[in-house]
Amino acid sequence: ISFMNEIANLCGRVGANIDAVRKGIGTDARIGSRFLFAGCGYGGSCFPKDVKANIHAAKKAGVEPMVLDAVEKRNQRQKERMFDHIKSKYGSDLSGLIFAVWGLSFKPGTDDMREAPSVVLINSLIKAGARVQAFDPVANEEAVKKFPPEWISENKLIFFNDNYTALENSDALVLMTEWKMFRNPSIRIIKEKMKNLCIFDGRNQ
């Protein structure tokens, strides 16, 4: 995962198509085509914990965990990349801007918010002065627990029960979790709801 995320960043800089690179790598039977999708970082209860545990075990045993250290460092940096893209368009001061965020859980099919990249993004957006209108098909209730209550009471962060309603008057849409329902959305409705049509796709959907 971290390797593909790093290659995706390289592709973005040199104008290569990460999807074509992924397909090429996947043709090697020793590697296979699964788990080669670049994105905005991994989360959950297993990968982060296990990588950290192996790093700790290696250091305790006197082994320098160079690859594992790099995996951890790349994943943490990857979670910040979406905010970097947003700053490159709007600058560091996001005051007055509204961002719709689709997908909050660390992966589709769960409400698990542990180590979710969406938490890093939303924290960065609000601290930069933006408002966030968030939607996840199952993780809204868990997501509420991850943020200061005053952000919600002051409407800096609003959770919606419908993905299109979350787009109302937004300046940009940020897709953070690859739920199937986000693969073929109605572009007509998106255009009607959003103030400006701008999409940051964190999962190459």
Tell me if 41 sits within 8 A of 117, measured CB to CB. yes
pLDDT of residue 33: 86
Q: At 111, list the tokens.
A: 């409400």
pLDDT tens digit sequence for 98-154: 999 999 999 999 999 999 999 999 999 999 999 999 999 999 999 999 999 999 999
Count of helix runs (H) and strand runs (E) in the chain: 8, 5
Tell me if 105 sits within 8 A of 111, measured CB to CB. yes
Q: Is the pLDDT of residue 189 over 90?
A: yes
Closest among 113, 171, 103 to 134, alpha carbons compared: 103
Identify the active-site residue in 11, 40, 46, 198.
Answer: 46
The values of phi and psi at residue 157, to 5°, are -135, 120
Q: Is the pLDDT of residue 45 over 90?
A: no
Tell me the three state secondary structure of residue 95. coil
Q: Is the pLDDT of residue 178 over 90?
A: yes
DSSP 194: -
How far apart CA 105 and CA 194 sit, in angstroms, is: 23
Verify whether residue 11 is a known catalytic residue. Answer: no
Q: Is the pLDDT of residue 160 over 90?
A: yes
Question: Beta partners for 102?
Answer: 135, 175
Confidence label for 35 from pLDDT (cuts 50, 70 and 90): confident
Average pLDDT for 37-51:
90
pLDDT tens digit sequence for 85-102: 999 999 999 999 999 999
Q: At 123, list the tokens.
A: 């924290």
pLDDT of residue 185: 95
Tell me the three state secondary structure of residue 17. coil
* pTM, entire model: 0.90
How far apart CA 134 and CA 143 sit, in angstroms, is: 9
Helix spans in the chain (H): 2-14, 18-26, 47-60, 66-90, 117-127, 140-144, 149-153, 187-193
Pairing relationship of beta strands 172-175 and 157-160 according to DSSP bridges:
unpaired
Q: Is the pLDDT of residue 1 over 90?
A: no
Q: Is the pLDDT of residue 38 over 90?
A: no
What's the chain's average pLDDT? 95
Tell me if 185 sits within 8 A of 197, measured CB to CB. no
